[in-house]
């Protein structure tokens, strides 16, 4: 899920929401609309009405050489929308829905723009300050300085003072001064600053301190001598990664500078997996590796002459930020096990299914013609459709899904949706699938973010957002039985999908518990060119049930066995198909 500073960007985003209903008539009679009974799902209806008003007003003030009458009419329309937001029921809805709440910021910006094109400088600057009070971010300065709407304000001392204020605010909260250039070994001051920034960002924004047993302040103090004792930037970043791993959250991580990433993240094109306490090759994406005898089903006995499990415990686990034991297992034995310096090959000791052992030296890089699974894989087995969605990363996935439901899935008598290997991405892609499985609006996760601490620092205040509701597709409705396959690699946006599926009781879930981590990370830069993120949004089921730090439990547990792996059997998928048949 998962962008820049959540507090600012999510508060002011002006991008259209995916929940677009039919355009409604122009806002009129704000008091009448405000008197309507308000339910949580009404928030997005008001969102659409306000967006519709903004569009119509923009057509007036944003046209080339608008007349004074057109500009004045657009301002009346926009102020009417502000009055609607001020009305009691809509204001209450906005307090529980961040998308509706953010419209106030955008309305103020639009009003400022409309005044600016009329050359009413003082009025435009007044509304810019109103917008600033709603929360802002420094990248807007570039827009204000370049957009033609504000051409009349450029050179005005009051406008310059406003943009300077925005720049200073952005530098403060983005920590611009902390972003220093890469060097082989940072100064002691830079090392201390980086650790302090990590501590402070978590202290201000991290939402899962209730999951921890240790005192975060003491952890910070314990790590200060460790970072100061490092003798190189790679060593320093390893300590920072260990530091943030103490927060035990999959969306709270430290990333080394780009200059170091080949030495941290290079790995051969294959995947491994821990099964019944032993490590196996589960996927191979290179023909050259296959020709060298490295095939799925091989057991890895050792890496670089060290037993594979102890190698992972020593070289991988300490640097992994994870939310649950099952998430840690994936990071330790699937994602991180083979990662390391690009120029350093791995010496494996393998054992085949007959018990014969052999050694192979495998390069981490230099492969060509790799064959990775597609984002969407579909097949029909009998009269059951099997839809495997491996990520929610690309918007093109929506078109593929739409076509499959229309032309293939609609003909089946049951559907298996497999997101066991889906690490997340864009929630909207997952919800586009859910929309086709129902004919009614459905509730998404509830969430809350830290608003601030009390004056004495011992009272935590929260901004809570009521569950949003998405509409059904309206054109495609698949009303037949569905089974969802989940597992520890089901993560982030894929878990948001799973929460909705489970809460609406659309079908049974088969497999293993999910990774147990989602949320809105707040990203920031570190000294030496690295970066980090900290989870700033706490998500639950719509009814408040927690799953972060726990995982979403399947209705039917099917755990992979060594026998299944070596025989190429997918027991969980077979179970799901059998349930549908």
Pull the structure tokens for residue 66.
């608008």
Q: Give which of 442, 465, 468 is closest to 44, Cα–Cα.
A: 468
pLDDT score at 140: 82
The low-confidence residues of the chain, meaning pLDDT below 50, are 1-38
Identify the pLDDT of residue 454.
66
**Residues paired with 509 in a beta bridge:** 484
Return the pLDDT at 340: 97
- For 412, other C-beta atoms within 10 Å of its C-beta total 20
pLDDT of residue 466: 77
* Residue 331: DSSP 8-state: I
Taking residue 438's Cβ as centre, other Cβ atoms within 10 Å add up to 18
Which residues are CB-neighbours of 516 under 8 A, at least 6 positions away?
A: 250, 323, 324, 326, 327, 495, 547, 548, 549, 550, 551, 552
In Å, what is the CA distance from 123 to each residue of 106, 113, 119, 201, 277?
Answer: 16, 10, 9, 36, 69
Put residue 232 in one of left, alpha, beta given phi > 0 → left and psi -120 to 50 → alpha. beta
**Of 411, 357, 471, nearest in space to 41 by CA:** 471
pLDDT confidence of residue 137: 64
Task: Give the model's pLDDT for residue 31.
Answer: 36
0.85 surpassed by pTM: no
Q: Summarize pLDDT for 12-29 with one digit per residue, the tens.
A: 233 333 332 333 333 333
Tokens of 168: 């200073």
**pLDDT value, residue 488:** 98
Of the candidates 401, 374, 373, the one whose C-alpha atom is nearest the C-alpha of residue 385 is 401
What integer pLDDT is reported at residue 487 of this predicted model?
Answer: 98
Contacts of the segment 459-467: beta carbons below 8 A, 24+ positions apart? 463/95, 463/98, 464/96, 465/96, 465/97, 465/98, 466/40, 466/43, 466/96, 466/97, 467/40, 467/443, 467/542
3-state helix, strand, coil in the chain (%, to 5): 45, 15, 40
29-38 long-range contacts, Cβ below 8 Å, gap at least 24?
Answer: 30/80, 30/81, 30/83, 30/84, 30/87, 31/83, 31/87, 33/84, 33/87, 33/90, 34/84, 34/87, 34/88, 34/89, 34/90, 35/87, 35/89, 36/89, 37/89, 38/89, 38/90, 38/92, 38/93
Distance CA 531, CA 274 (A): 30
pLDDT tens profile 374-402: 999 999 999 999 999 999 998 899 999 99
Buried b (16+ CB within 10 A) or exposed e, 48-62: bbbbbbbebbbebbb
pLDDT at 465: 79
d(CA 487, CA 420): 5
- Which domains, from first to last, does the chain contain? 6-174 (no CATH), 264-362 (2.30.42.10), 376-580 (3.90.226.10)
What pLDDT was estimated at residue 37?
42
Alpha carbon 234 to chain centroid distance?
A: 27
pLDDT of residue 392: 96
Is 54:81 a contact under the CB 8 Å cutoff?
Answer: yes
Q: Is beta strand 384-389 parallel, antiparallel or unpaired with respect to 376-381? A: antiparallel
Going from the C-alpha of 199 to that of each of 196, 318, 533, 540, the distances in angstroms are: 5, 18, 12, 25
Nearest to 132, CA basis, from 47, 10, 12, 3: 12
| Phi/psi at 357 (5° precision) | -105, 150
């Amino acid at each position: 899920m998962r962008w820049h500073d959540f507090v600012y960007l999510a508060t002011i985003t002006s991008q259209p929401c995916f929940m677009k209903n039919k355009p409604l008539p122009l806002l009129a009679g704000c008091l009448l609309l405000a008197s309507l009974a308000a339910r949580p799902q009404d928030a997005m209806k008001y969102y659409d009405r306000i967006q519709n008003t903004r569009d119509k007003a923009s057509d007036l003030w944003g046209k080339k050489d608008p007349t004074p009458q057109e500009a004045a009419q657009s301002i009346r329309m926009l102020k009417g929308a502000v009055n609607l937001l001020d009305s009691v029921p809509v204001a209450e809805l906005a307090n529980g829905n961040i998308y509706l709440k953010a419209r106030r910021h955008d309305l103020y910006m639009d009003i400022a723009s409309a005044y600016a094109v009329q050359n009413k400088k003082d009025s435009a600057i007044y509304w810019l300050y109103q917008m600033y009070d709603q929360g802002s971010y420094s990248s807007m300065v570039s827009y204000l300085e370049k957009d033609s709407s504000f051409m009349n304000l450029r050179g005005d001392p009051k406008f310059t003072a406003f943009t300077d204020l925005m720049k200073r605010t952005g530098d403060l909260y983005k920590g611009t001064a902390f972003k220093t250039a890469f060097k082989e070994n940072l100064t002691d001051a830079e090392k201390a600053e980086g650790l302090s920034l990590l501590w402070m960002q978590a202290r201000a924004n991290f939402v899962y301190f209730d999951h921890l047993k240790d005192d975060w302040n003491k952890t910070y103090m314990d790590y200060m001598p460790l970072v100061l004792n490092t003798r190189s930037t790679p060593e320093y970043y390893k300590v920072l990664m260990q530091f943030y791993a103490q927060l035990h959250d999959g969306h709270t991580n430290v990333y080394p500078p780009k200059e170091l990433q080949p030495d941290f993240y290079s790995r051969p094109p294959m995947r491994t997996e821990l099964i019944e306490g032993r490590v196996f090759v589960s996927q191979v994406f290179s023909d050259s590796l296959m020709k060298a005898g490295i095939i799925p089903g091989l057991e890895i006995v050792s890496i670089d002459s060290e037993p594979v499990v102890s190698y992972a415990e020593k070289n991988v686990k300490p640097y992994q930020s994870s939310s649950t034991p099952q998430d840690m297992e994936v990071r330790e034995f699937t994602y991180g096990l083979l990662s390391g310096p690009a120029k350093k090959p791995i010496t494996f000791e393998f054992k085949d299914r007959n018990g014969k052992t052999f050694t192979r030296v495998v390069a981490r890089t230099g492969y060509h013609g790799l064959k990775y699974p597609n984002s969407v894989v579909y097949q029909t087995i009998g009269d059951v459709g099997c839809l495997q969605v491996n990520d929610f990363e690309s918007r093109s996935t929506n078109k593929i899904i739409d076509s499959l439901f229309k032309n293939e899935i609609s003909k089946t008598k049951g559907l298996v949706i497999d997101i066991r290997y889906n690490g997340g991405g864009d929630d909207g892609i997952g919800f586009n699938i859910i929309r086709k499985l129902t004919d009614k609006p459905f509730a998404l996760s509830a969430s809350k973010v830290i608003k601030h601490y009390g004056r004495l620092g011992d009272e935590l205040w929260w901004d809570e957002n009521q569950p949003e509701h998405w509409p059904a597709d309206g054109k495609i409705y698949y009303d037949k039985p569905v089974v969802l396959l989940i597992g520890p690699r089901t993560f982030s946006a894929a878990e948001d999908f799973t929460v909705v599926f489970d809460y609406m009781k659309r079908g049974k879930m088969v497999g293993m518990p999910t990774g147990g981590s989602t949320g809105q990370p707040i990203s920031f830069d570190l000294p030496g060119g690295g970066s980090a993120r900290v989870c700033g949004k706490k998500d639950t089921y719509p009814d408040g049930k927690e799953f972060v730090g726990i995982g979403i439990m399947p209705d039917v547990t099917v755990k992979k066995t060594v026998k299944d792996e070596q025989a190429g059997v997918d027991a969980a998928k077979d179970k799901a198909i059998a349930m549908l048949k």
